Amino acid sequence: MNQKFEKLLLPTRIKSSNVKIQEMLLGYLAAPFCAMIANAIFGSYLNRYYVDVLGWTKFGVFATFLPMISSIVVVAGNLLVGQWIDKTRTKAGKARPYLLISIPLVAAAILLMFMTPTKAAAPVQMIWIAVTYNLYYALAYPCYYTAHSSLVSLSTRNASQRGLLATLSNASTVAAAGVGASILAPILLQPFMFVTGPNGLDVEASYANWRILSIAFALLSALGVILEYFFTRERITEEALALNLKEEKIPMKKHIEACTKDKYWWLVIIFILVFQFGQLCKNSSMSFYSRWMFDSVVNSPDPEAASAGLMSTLGLVGGLPAAVGMFIAWPLANKLGKKRSIILGLIFATLGGLVAFINVNSFPVVVTAVVLKSIGIIPAQYVMLALLSDILDHLEAKNGFRSDGFTMSLYSSIMVGLGGLGMGIINAMLTFSGYVNVGYEVDPATVTLIEDISTWTGDVIYRQMGGTEQVLAFAYLAVDLIAGIISIILLWKMDVEKYVEADQRTIIEHQKAAVLAEGGVWIEPEERARREQEEADRKAEEERIRELKELCKKKGLNFEEEEKKYQEKLAKRKNSLIGKFLG
């Protein structure tokens, strides 16, 4: 597999041995945002699409058990990709090659998910939904997300630079969910995704619009993955290649044993599991909550537009702290420590979230709670990957090999698989609480009638029963609070940060011993990085001069004069404020 990759892979555009602004902003912020925004929108709206557009609650237990059972398949798919990553060793890295592989898979899976044959018999529809759902969540997206999640820990050994990359990588995820799925999608897309007809939801029009959107989602995802591939670099993987160490094939069993015997590994994995479950339940129930819990929506002539406005407001007030948090999370973690900053933030989020229960049907009260919770979870959102990277280094120092593929496949399983588990649980609660899809035939005995609105000329508007409202309040407001409390308990004994410096020294000692044992010449990491940078700069300069000469020959310009102009511009740029900032 490695030889096949070598023939197909293209070189990274990142040539610096240090992390620079181009890699930070393109590779870890803008590109992942584009790659993940479709998945974030699915997290908020896919269940509503299945429930309200396809009407899959009419399939009974299928709506509950498909996403829950599929979570097992999702975990298996992520573990498989993780195993591939651990066995891969190319000049492009261990994880980055799978970014390229994911492009056609993700695009095809997105398109197929929204081509369900709605006129076919129920069994055919169920099979189509089951196959396409798992194609996306158990294969295509894990192929991307496991590779994406591995990049921070493989990017560099510089703790400060890695912490910054972790912050930006998490910022892209937060922005995709907070800005893309919770602000832009409600304002720009929700009335298009769920078209209001004369008697409720226009199912056929909504289905047609989702098919159009799937094309845009597929193209945007592909663009993001391509950019992420070209503007990232695995320096730690390249480090092993540069040392010319004999490759040791580590079986999966050994990775599992190495990880599961470490208490810090267990603590961080369970923390991520619990924390993300709370966030995913909140995000996947947000659209339902905005649609049914506020009188201004259920009494509106156009409830979809009204709920979209409130949902975008919730997303905005929840997203603003996250946007500010991108700039304060890492300085705060440096000052207080990663663990302490996360714990203090979660305590604040828990106390702030309780405010919502003063009145769960009051939009100002709920908004206040959302803002307070969003402020509190800032450290957990942005510092989580950096903490996990410290643990991966700790495992490498203890065991003499890295287990990025296995660990990040579990991380990806949690981030992707929990969405299905949460979806199944919410669907079960909605089904048993008597949730009614107003786009289909309604049994008047299961709903509460609200007075007709004159502008609707007598059409009836429905409100969900109280049991459904209680379910939505629990899913949107309470689950993440419970998860936060459990997360605080889990992290209380997490003190891996005290080993960071010693772990780095141990890793270098292991590398030195391995190089010398094979008769090689040991070069200190700083000197090796300096030489590598000089070589990269030399090649880049030679290529620039070659291109300039070709341009001058083609346009009849004087090379010496054009070179002088370039050097003058370069000197001016280096002395500018931006040039000094970029380095």
Looking at residue 76, what is its pLDDT?
86
Give me the long-range contacts of 237-240 (CB less than 8 A, separation at least 24).
Answer: 237/89, 237/93, 237/94, 237/154, 238/91, 238/93, 239/157, 239/511, 239/525, 240/89
- Tell me the per-residue pLDDT of 201-247, one tens digit each, with 9 for 90 and over: 788 898 999 999 999 999 999 999 999 999 998 888 887 777 666 65
The predicted model gives 9-23 an average pLDDT of: 80
Looking at residue 442, what is its pLDDT?
45
Of residues 56 and 52, more confidently modeled: 52
- Tell me the per-residue pLDDT of 464-490, one tens digit each, with 9 for 90 and over: 666 788 888 898 999 999 999 999 999
- According to DSSP, the residues that pair with 461 across neighbouring strands are 450
The predicted model gives 89-112 an average pLDDT of: 91
Of residues 560 and 422, more confidently modeled: 560
Looking at residue 461, what is its pLDDT?
46
Looking at residue 440, what is its pLDDT?
40
- According to DSSP, the residues that pair with 573 across neighbouring strands are none
Q: What amino acid occupies position 241?
A: L
Which helix H or strand E contains 413, and what residues bound it? helix 404-433
Of residues 420 and 270, more confidently modeled: 270
The predicted model gives 421-444 an average pLDDT of: 66
Based on C-alpha coordinates, what's the Rg of the chain? 26
What does the alpha-carbon distance between residue 562 and residue 526 come to, in Å, rounded to a whole number?
36
Q: What percent of the chain has pLDDT over 70?
A: 89
* Helix, strand, coil share (%) of the chain residues, nearest 5: 80, 0, 20
Q: What percent of the chain has pLDDT over 90?
A: 23
DSSP string, 445-467: GGSEEEPPPGGGTT--EEE--HH
Region of 234 on the Ramachandran plot (φ > 0 left; ψ -120 to 50 alpha; else beta): beta
What does the alpha-carbon distance between residue 82 and residue 480 come to, in Å, rounded to a whole number?
28
The predicted model gives 147-164 an average pLDDT of: 81
Q: What amino acid occupies position 200?
A: G
Name the one residue in this structure whose structure tokens are 């580590």: 250
Of residues 202 and 199, more confidently modeled: 202
Looking at residue 99, what is its pLDDT?
93
- Tell me the per-residue pLDDT of 250-259, one tens digit each, with 9 for 90 and over: 787 888 888 9
Which helix H or strand E contains 197, and what residues bound it? strand 196-197
Looking at residue 316, what is its pLDDT?
80
271 pLDDT band (50/70/90 cuts)?
Answer: very high
426 pLDDT band (50/70/90 cuts)?
Answer: confident
The predicted model gives 512-516 an average pLDDT of: 80
pTM of the model: 0.67
For the chain, give the mean pLDDT.
Answer: 81
174 pLDDT band (50/70/90 cuts)?
Answer: confident
Residue 16: phi, psi to the nearest 5?
A: -75, 140
DSSP string, 134-176: HIIIIIIHHHHHHHHHHHHHHH-S-HHHHHHHHHHHHHHHHHI
Q: What amino acid occupies position 421?
A: L
- Tell me the per-residue pLDDT of 303-350, one tens digit each, with 9 for 90 and over: 778 888 888 888 788 777 877 877 788 788 888 888 999 999 999 999
Looking at residue 244, what is its pLDDT?
67
185 pLDDT band (50/70/90 cuts)?
Answer: confident
Name the one residue in this structure whose structure tokens are 């500018």: 576
Hey, what are 424's tokens?
């199944």
Region of 11 on the Ramachandran plot (φ > 0 left; ψ -120 to 50 alpha; else beta): beta
60 pLDDT band (50/70/90 cuts)?
Answer: low
Contacts of 553 (CB under 8 A, 6+ apart): none
Q: Which of 16-20, 179-183, 309-313, 411-415 has the highest mean pLDDT?
A: 309-313
